[in-house]
C-alpha cells in the first residue's frame, strides 16, 4: 500500500541539523504515527513521503518554508514580569503556553530577563533551520472513520474527544 491522503503512516526517523547534530529521533522507540494529508507533520516531509511504501528508506532535506517556517523577529517581544504571576524562579529557556493573537495556544520561550521586563520568543525552536530527515516507512494502513473525523491516528487503546 502506498502513502497517500487518508492513510495512517508509521515511520522511524532521525532529524539532524546541517552540522550533523541529532535534533530528534524515534529510532529505538515507538515509530511516529501520523495521518497523511492532515498536517500532522511538516509539509516538506509529508510531500516527500507521498507514494512511498512499507520498507522504503529515504533522506529528505526540508527547507524552512516547508518545515517550521522562517525565523520571524516580530515574534520576539518584551512583556512585563508580572505576566508570569505565580512563577517564582523565572529563567531563560523556560517554556510557557500563551494565547496567540488568533486565539490559538502557542508556546513561548523565555530568552532573557531584564529587571521587570521579560524577552519572549514565539518562534518554533526549529524555525529558520533546514531539517535533514533519515526516514524508514514502517507501516501504511487505511485510516478509520474516527481517525479521519478527528484528523489524527488513534492508538490501540483509542481515546475519547
Cell of 48: 516527500
- On the 0-12 / 13-18 / 19+ scale of CB atoms within 10 A, 58 is middle
Q: With pLDDT > 70 as the criterion, what percentage of the chain qualifies?
A: 96
- Do 62 and 48 fall within a single domain? yes
Model confidence pLDDT, tens digit, residues 24-80: 999 999 999 999 999 999 999 999 999 999 999 999 999 999 999 999 999 999 999
Let me know if residue 38 belongs to a domain: yes
The predicted structure's pLDDT at residue 157: 52
pLDDT score of 161: 47
Provide the grid cell at 57: 528508506
DSSP lists the bridge partners of residue 120 as 77, 110
More confidently predicted of 157 and 27? 27
Give the three cell numbers for residue 52.
512511498
Q: Are residues 94 and 132 in the same domain?
A: no
User: 114 in a domain, yes or no?
Assistant: yes
Residues with Cβ < 8 Å from 53, sequence gap 6 or more? Answer: 1, 2, 3, 137, 140
pLDDT over threshold 60, residue 159: no
- State the DSSP code for 158: -
* Residue span of the structural domain in which 50 resides: 7-68+128-150
Cell of 34: 501520523
Average pLDDT over residues 119-125: 95
**What CATH number did the domain enclosing 53 receive?**
3.10.50.40
Indicate the average pLDDT of the chain: 93
The backbone torsions φ and ψ at residue 5, rounded to the nearest 5 degrees and listed phi first, read: -55, 145
pLDDT score at 155:
74
Q: What is the pLDDT of residue 104?
A: 84
Q: What does the alpha-carbon distance between residue 23 and residue 124 come to, in Å, rounded to a whole number?
A: 13
What is the mean predicted confidence (pLDDT) over 117-125? 95
The reported pLDDT for the residue numbered 123 is 95
Amino acid at each position: 500500500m502506498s502513502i497517500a491522503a487518508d492513510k495512517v503512516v508509521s515511520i522511524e526517523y532521525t532529524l539532524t541539523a546541517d552540522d550533523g547534530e541529532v535534533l530528534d529521533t524515534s529510532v529505538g522507540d515507538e515509530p511516529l504515527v501520523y495521518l497523511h494529508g492532515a498536517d500532522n507533520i511538516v509539509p516538506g516531509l509529508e510531500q516527500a513521503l507521498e507514494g512511498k511504501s512499507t520498507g522504503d528508506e529515504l533522506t529528505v532535506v526540508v527547507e524552512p518554508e516547508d518545515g517550521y517556517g522562517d525565523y520571524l523577529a516580530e515574534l520576539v517581544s518584551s512583556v512585563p514580569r508580572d505576566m508570569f504571576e505565580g512563577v517564582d524562579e523565572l529563567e531563560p529557556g523556560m517554556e510557557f503556553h500563551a494565547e496567540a493573537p488568533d486565539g490559538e495556544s502557542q508556546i513561548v520561550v523565555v530568552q532573557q530577563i531584564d529587571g521587570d521586563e521579560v524577552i519572549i520568543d514565539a518562534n518554533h525552536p526549529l524555525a529558520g533551520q533546514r531539517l535533514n530527515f533519515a526516514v524508514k516507512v514502517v507501516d501504511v494502513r487505511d485510516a478509520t472513520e474516527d481517525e479521519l473525523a478527528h484528523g489524527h491516528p488513534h492508538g490501540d487503546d483509542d481515546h475519547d474527544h
